[in-house]
């Protein structure tokens, strides 16, 4: 018995039990604070406080927690550098400089005055104290990243300014410590400046080159790619310490250096974010919570004065800096508060300063305790403010929309060879709109002659690998197999059936057949389709591309699909972080560049002119380098921009055939202005007229009948009764109630011509025959035509079941005032698979 109780002595020493407790905290804490409508970060901080040495004492903040906490902090800074849009960062770099200067100068000044005149500190000690207020930790960055606002101008300026102010604050620490040792001489300054300069040069010169070489050699080996990235991050962080700055600066710079090699939509980025958010970042938050000691507040009046002064100086100075930045740079009120929320948290650099200063006797115990209180308060304020105003920013952006509506993009990727299948998918993931819910269709056409069964099996294995690859990048993938005598015809039929807008095909290089320079199957496919076609010859991983060179043939801008093609190519360039160079006729350069710059997204570009096709070939041979991607805008035979010289260009490239290249055959219809037909999705099946907010209380049959009346008028009672009988027929062994408070019904009927969804709400609830003691508040009915495919009907019904599980409080949903409000909440749950109702991640926002 004693041996058994030994395992539960506090603080726990059994590593298995420690890890089990931490995993339970990671599971329970976010769920618990969701009930209070607080950010998940708050739950993890509170969990650290409760189980830490200053409360229950279940866990000790030992070397293991300090190690994993440090890893989590470095991970946050690295991810921040990785997610920055470098093109936007370069364009708005002055914003980062302005915010970095203000958010350092204002807290440094106010903190120094507070330290001298309120706390009575010496001048140099007060400066060191103020440097703690000037720095900040991007504790709430995962919140803003989850909201999809990491690329906004305000967030980009805040992240860039963080590096400036943290570096300046840590340099203040180095200078003050040097002055206390009497070594603030020329040697000190030379060592600091030279060391930092050499470090920055090595990071931004070597990491991109080594990374590009590694990704080319390793290819798609996911584990090795991830390990390589981690090795680079922590090596850069360690070298930063050797250079005289904190490791967090090195981690951020490593993120910037790897930014162009890890595209946002890539599988590698998804792995980085998943592991960090699931393990490393939570460990950091828990370790910060373990530092909090609420007993400090009751240790005497002096402790309260110091703590109140530090908390007030930190929050007020950061708020003032954010408001000044907002006024100078013209940001909105919500953006200003997001800047304040992101910059309010004190943790990393603050701990570094206070611990070093306390060890040498510059700070006493009251300042140390006040720092702990300041960290605790600011770490709670930061995510709350960021979540509140970040959500309002996201809602404002959603209401404003992208400006120009684009038709939905659906990509088909015909796969003939397993060797280049993954490269084509990676290319597709970067070209498509990031976060789009439209699926990608990997397509395999199997010839009907020969060993069909064996060929189909091989194709299915290749398509299965495509599904896995898409899932790892969080891209919806729907594999398609076709039997056909002619591969091009089979692809064309699948494209038509799936309402595809873009086709991505592989190309092995110039063909010996001058009549089909892109290959016989590809040329036939182009002739049989009107969609935009990307013909890709990829000799390197797409994420290693350093520059995209686009060739504009004469009159190409008058082609119907030109606008869509340019947006796609700019999106590809932006996703890879590459530079862009355009080649066009000198006489057309001004017109093409003006139109090019007017299309979103905004990216930096340069243009070079040529006079003849021969001049173009020579220009390419002179300018193209190993890391370039050549893109040739082209058109179908017989259209205005088409020319024999353009069609023969692949065979004239010569040595350029060994470089990565892509022919973009523009769409023959302007799909940017003419939306593609698309089947009615689940969200579109919901209509406000089929939502009943006040259901009768007579019984199950009367309730469903009242729902159906919204579609089947009173003059068609017979049709309504047929549908009603189909919905309420008895199915032995199956309950119609899915979960507490929600009932699902479904049927196929010849009385309906299209898929319909009905929703009934009962705030008071009603009892069912199957569960007389339970109350049902929400009824969802799914109807499909009799001739509809059974599998499609069941898939739609399954999605409704998943939707119902996200309604945590059906009574609250049923209590909403109008059908439109109910409808908007249901559609929100459909669009955001992780969402719930009520939205337990944050408190409701008000204007």
Domain with 192 in it: what CATH number?
Answer: 1.20.1530.20
DSSP calls for 331-347: --HHHHHHHHHHHH---
Residue with token string 């007389």: 772
Q: Would the CA dihedral through 285, 288, 290, 296 be positive or negative?
A: negative
Kindly state the helix (H) or strand (E) to which residue 440 belongs, with its residue range. Answer: strand 440-446
Half-sphere exposure of 710 (CA within 13 A, CB side): 21
Confidence of residue 492 (pLDDT cuts 50, 70, 90): confident
Confidence of residue 503 (pLDDT cuts 50, 70, 90): very high
pLDDT at 119: 83
pLDDT in tens, 428-447: 988 888 767 788 999 888 77
Q: Are residues 136 and 260 in the same domain?
A: yes
pLDDT at 182: 60
pLDDT at 403: 43
Confidence of residue 654 (pLDDT cuts 50, 70, 90): low
In the numeric block, which tokens belong to residue 832? 């955001």
815 Cβ contact list (under 8 Å, min separation 6): 761, 763
Q: Are residues 330 and 374 in the same domain?
A: yes
Q: Are residues 395 and 420 in the same domain?
A: no
812-816 contacts, C-beta under 8 A, 24 or more apart: 812/837, 812/838, 813/761, 813/777, 813/778, 813/837, 814/693, 814/761, 814/762, 814/763, 814/765, 814/777, 814/778, 815/761, 815/763, 816/693, 816/761
- Exposed e or buried b for every residue in 738-777, given b needs 16+ CB within 10 A? beebbbbbbbbbebbeebbbbbbbbeebbebeeeeeeebb
The answer to whether 292 and 114 have CB atoms below 8 angstroms apart is no
**Sheet of strand 628-634, all strands in order from the earlier edge strand to the far edge:** 480-483, 440-446, 411-414, 502-506, 532-537, 660-665, 628-634, 547-551, 579-585, 606-610
Which ranges of 624-699 does DSSP label H, i.e. alpha helix? 644-647, 649-652, 682-685
Who has greater pLDDT, 278 or 675? 278
Residue 609 has pLDDT above 80, yes or no: yes
Name which of 619, 580, 583 is nearest 602 in CA terms.
Answer: 580
Count of domains forming the chain: 3
The angle subtended at Cα 541 by Cα 538 and Cα 545, nearest 5°, is 90
pLDDT at 244: 73
The answer to whether 280 and 286 have CB atoms below 8 angstroms apart is no
**CATH classification at residue 645:** 3.40.50.12370
User: Is residue 609 a part of any domain in this protein?
Assistant: yes
Q: Are residues 464 and 386 in the same domain?
A: no
User: Is residue 42 a part of any domain in this protein?
Assistant: no
> How many angstroms separate the CA atoms of 344 and 366, rounded?
22
Residue with token string 């055939």: 657
Residue 530 has pLDDT above 60, yes or no: yes
The angle subtended at Cα 128 by Cα 127 and Cα 130, nearest 5°, is 65
User: Is residue 32 a part of any domain in this protein?
Assistant: no
Kindly state the helix (H) or strand (E) to which residue 580 belongs, with its residue range. Answer: strand 579-585
The answer to whether 255 and 81 have CB atoms below 8 angstroms apart is yes
Alpha-carbon distances of 775 from 48, 695, 742, 768, rounded to whole Å: 39, 13, 9, 8
C-alpha torsion 736→737→738→744, nearest 10: 60
User: Is residue 841 a part of any domain in this protein?
Assistant: no
Provide the CA 238 distance to its chain's centre, in angstroms.
28
Who has greater pLDDT, 680 or 600? 600
Who has greater pLDDT, 312 or 179? 312
User: Is residue 756 a part of any domain in this protein?
Assistant: yes
The answer to whether 79 and 319 have CB atoms below 8 angstroms apart is no
User: Which backbone phi and psi does 170 adopt, to 5 degrees?
Assistant: -75, -30
> DSSP 3-state assignment of 235?
helix
- Exposed e or buried b for every residue in 803-817, given b needs 16+ CB within 10 A? bbebbbebbebbbbe
Kindly state the helix (H) or strand (E) to which residue 471 belongs, with its residue range. Answer: helix 452-472
Least confident of 15-29, 174-188, 249-263, 819-833: 174-188
DSSP for residue 477:
B
Confidence of residue 128 (pLDDT cuts 50, 70, 90): confident
Give the rounded percent of residues in the chain with a pLDDT score beyond 70: 84
The answer to whether 751 and 722 have CB atoms below 8 angstroms apart is yes
Count of helices and strands (H, E) across the chain: 33, 15
Q: Are residues 67 and 181 in the same domain?
A: yes
User: Which backbone phi and psi does 88 adopt, to 5 degrees?
Assistant: -70, -40
> How many angstroms separate the CA atoms of 619 and 650, rounded?
15
- Exposed e or buried b for every residue in 472-484, given b needs 16+ CB within 10 A? ebebebebbbbeb
User: Is residue 254 a part of any domain in this protein?
Assistant: yes
Least confident of 82-96, 455-469, 724-738: 724-738
DSSP for residue 279:
I
In the numeric block, which tokens belong to residue 124? 């140099």
Confidence of residue 685 (pLDDT cuts 50, 70, 90): confident
pLDDT in tens, 30-44: 888 777 766 677 788
Q: Are residues 495 and 587 in the same domain?
A: yes
The answer to whether 263 and 430 have CB atoms below 8 angstroms apart is yes
In the chain, the N- to C-terminal Cα span, in Å, equals: 60
Is omega for the bond preceding 601 within 30 degrees of 0, making it cis? yes
Kindly state the helix (H) or strand (E) to which residue 443 belongs, with its residue range. Answer: strand 440-446
Q: Are residues 130 and 257 in the same domain?
A: yes
Who has greater pLDDT, 595 or 685? 595
pLDDT at 843: 41
| Inter-helix orientation angle 365-400/123-134, to 10° | 30
User: Is residue 846 a part of any domain in this protein?
Assistant: no
Who has greater pLDDT, 669 or 817? 817
Q: Are residues 726 and 698 in the same domain?
A: yes
pLDDT in tens, 135-175: 887 778 878 877 777 778 888 888 888 878 877 877 777 77
Which ranges of 36-85 does DSSP label H, i.e. alpha helix? 40-51, 63-83
Q: Are residues 509 and 552 in the same domain?
A: yes
Least confident of 94-98, 165-169, 424-428: 165-169
Q: Would the CA dihedral through 580, 585, 588, 589 be positive or negative?
A: positive
Q: Are residues 587 and 690 in the same domain?
A: no
C-alpha torsion 67→69→74→79, nearest 10: 140
> How many angstroms separate the CA atoms of 828 and 847, rounded?
19
DSSP calls for 642-707: --HHHHTHHHH-GGGGGSEEEEEE--SS-TTTSPPP----HHHH--GGGEESS--SS-HHHHHHHH
The answer to whether 286 and 25 have CB atoms below 8 angstroms apart is yes
Mean pLDDT across the stretch 86-105?
82
Q: Are residues 337 and 448 in the same domain?
A: no
Mean pLDDT across the stretch 597-624?
83
pLDDT at 299: 67
Name which of 413, 411, 462, 463 is nearest 437 in CA terms.
Answer: 411
798 Cβ contact list (under 8 Å, min separation 6): none
483 forms bridges with which residues in the sheet?
A: 446
Mean pLDDT, rounded, of the chain: 80
Residue 234 has pLDDT above 90, yes or no: yes
Neighbours of 319 (CB within 10 A): 20
Length of the chain, in residues: 847
In the numeric block, which tokens belong to residue 828? 């929100």
Residue 75 has pLDDT above 90, yes or no: no
Q: Are residues 355 and 495 in the same domain?
A: no
Alpha-carbon distances of 394 from 278, 330, 384, 399, 612, rounded to whole Å: 24, 18, 15, 9, 48
| Inter-helix orientation angle 186-218/222-242, to 10° | 170
Domain with 152, as residue range(s), is 61-400
User: Is residue 256 a part of any domain in this protein?
Assistant: yes
Top-ranked range on mean pLDDT: pick from 215-224, 314-323, 513-522:
314-323
pLDDT at 402: 44
> How many angstroms separate the CA atoms of 460 and 466, rounded?
10
pLDDT at 556: 85
DSSP for residue 105:
H
Residue 92 has pLDDT above 60, yes or no: yes
Residue 672 has pLDDT above 60, yes or no: no
């Amino acid at each position: 018995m004693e041996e058994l109780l030994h395992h539960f002595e506090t603080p726990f020493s059994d590593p298995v039990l420690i890890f089990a407790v931490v995993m339970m905290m990671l599971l329970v804490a976010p769920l618990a604070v969701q009930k209070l409508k607080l950010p998940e970060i708050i739950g993890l901080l509170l969990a650290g406080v409760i189980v830490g040495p200053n409360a229950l004492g279940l866990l000790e903040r030992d070397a293991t927690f300090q190690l994993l906490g440090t890893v989590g902090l470095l991970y946050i800074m690295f991810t921040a550098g990785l997610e920055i849009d470098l093109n936007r960062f370069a364009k708005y770099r002055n914003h980062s400089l302005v915010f970095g200067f203000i958010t350092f100068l204002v807290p440094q000044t106010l903190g120094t005055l507070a330290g001298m005149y309120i706390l009575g500190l010496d001048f140099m000690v007060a400066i060191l104290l103020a440097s703690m207020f000037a720095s900040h930790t991007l504790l709430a960055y995962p919140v803003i990243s989850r909201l999809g606002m990491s690329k906004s101008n305000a967030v980009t300026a805040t992240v860039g300014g963080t590096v400036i102010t943290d570096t300046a604050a840590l340099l203040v620490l180095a200078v003050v410590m040097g002055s206390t040792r009497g070594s603030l001489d020329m040697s000190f300054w030379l060592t600091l400046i030279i060391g930092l300069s050499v470090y920055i040069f090595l990071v931004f010169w070597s990491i991109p080159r080594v990374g590009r070489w590694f990704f080319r050699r390793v290819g798609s080996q996911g584990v090795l790619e991830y390990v390589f990235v981690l090795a680079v991050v922590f090596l850069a962080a360690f070298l930063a310490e050797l250079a005289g700055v904190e490791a967090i600066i090195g981690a951020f710079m490593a993120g910037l250096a790897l930014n162009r090699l890890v595209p946002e939509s890539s599988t590698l980025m998804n792995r980085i974010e998943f592991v960090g958010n699931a393990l490393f970042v939570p460990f950091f938050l828990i370790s910060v919570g373990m530092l909090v000691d609420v007993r400090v507040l009751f240790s005497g009046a002096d402790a309260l004065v110091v703590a109140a002064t530090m908390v007030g100086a930190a929050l007020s100075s950061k708020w003032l800096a954010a408001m000044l930045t907002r006024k100078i740079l013209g940001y909105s009120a919500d953006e200003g508060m997001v800047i304040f929320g992101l910059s309010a948290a004190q943790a990393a650099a603050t701990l570094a300063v206070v611990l070093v200063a306390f060890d040498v006797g510059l700070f006493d115990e009251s300042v140390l305790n006040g720092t702990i209180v300041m960290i605790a308060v600011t770490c709670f304020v930061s995510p709350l403010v960021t979540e509140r105003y970040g959500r309002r920013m996201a809602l404002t952006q959603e209401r404003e929309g992208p400006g120009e509506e684009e038709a939905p993009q659906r990509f088909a990727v015909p796969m003939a060879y397993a060797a280049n299948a993954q490269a084509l998918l990676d290319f597709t993931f970067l070209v498509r709109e990031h976060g789009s819910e439209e699926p990608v269709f990997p397509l395999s056409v199997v010839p009907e002659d020969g060993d069909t069964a064996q060929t189909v099996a091989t194709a299915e294995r290749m398509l299965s690998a495509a599904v896995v690859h898409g899932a790892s990048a969080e891209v919806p993938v729907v594999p398609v197999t076709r039997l056909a005598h002619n591969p091009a015809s089979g692809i064309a039929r699948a494209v038509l059936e799936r309402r595809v807008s873009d086709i991505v095909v592989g190309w092995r290089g110039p063909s010996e057949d001058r009549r089909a320079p892109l290959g016989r199957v590809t040329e036939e496919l182009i002739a049989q389709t009107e969609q935009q076609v990307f013909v890709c010859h990829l000799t390197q991983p797409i994420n290693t591309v350093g520059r995209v060179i686009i060739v504009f043939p004469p009159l190409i801008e008058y082609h119907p699909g030109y606008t869509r093609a340019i947006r796609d190519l700019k999106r590809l360039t932006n996703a890879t972080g590459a530079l862009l160079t355009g080649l066009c006729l000198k006489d057309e350069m001004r017109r093409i560049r003006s139109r090019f710059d007017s299309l979103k997204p905004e990216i930096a570009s340069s243009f070079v002119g040529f006079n003849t096709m021969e001049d173009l070939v020579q220009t390419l041979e002179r300018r193209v380098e190993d890391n370039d991607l050549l893109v040739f805008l082209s058109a179908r035979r017989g259209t205005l921009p088409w020319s024999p010289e353009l069609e023969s260009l692949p065979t004239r490239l010569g040595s350029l055939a060994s470089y990565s290249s892509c022919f973009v055959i523009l769409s023959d219809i302007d799909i940017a202005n003419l939306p593609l037909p698309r089947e009615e999705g689940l969200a579109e099946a919901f209509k406000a007229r089929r939502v009943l907010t006040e259901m009768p209380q007579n019984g199950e049959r009367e309730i469903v009948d009242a729902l159906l009346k919204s579609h089947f008028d009173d003059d068609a009672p017979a049709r309504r009764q047929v549908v009603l009988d189909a919905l309420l027929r008895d199915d032995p062994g199956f309950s119609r109630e899915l979960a507490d408070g929600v009932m699902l019904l479904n049927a196929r009927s010849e009385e309906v011509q299209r898929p319909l969804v009905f929703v009934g709400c009962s705030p008071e609830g009603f009892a069912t025959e199957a569960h007389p003691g339970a109350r049902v508040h929400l009824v969802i009915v799914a109807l499909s035509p009799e001739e509809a495919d059974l599998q499609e009907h069941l898939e739609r019904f399954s999605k409704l079941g998943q939707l119902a599980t996200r309604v945590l409080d059906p009574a609250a949903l049923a209590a909403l005032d109008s059908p439109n409000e109910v409808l908007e909440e249901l559609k929100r749950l459909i669009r955001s698979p992780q969402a719930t109702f009520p939205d337990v991640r944050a408190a409701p926002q008000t204007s």
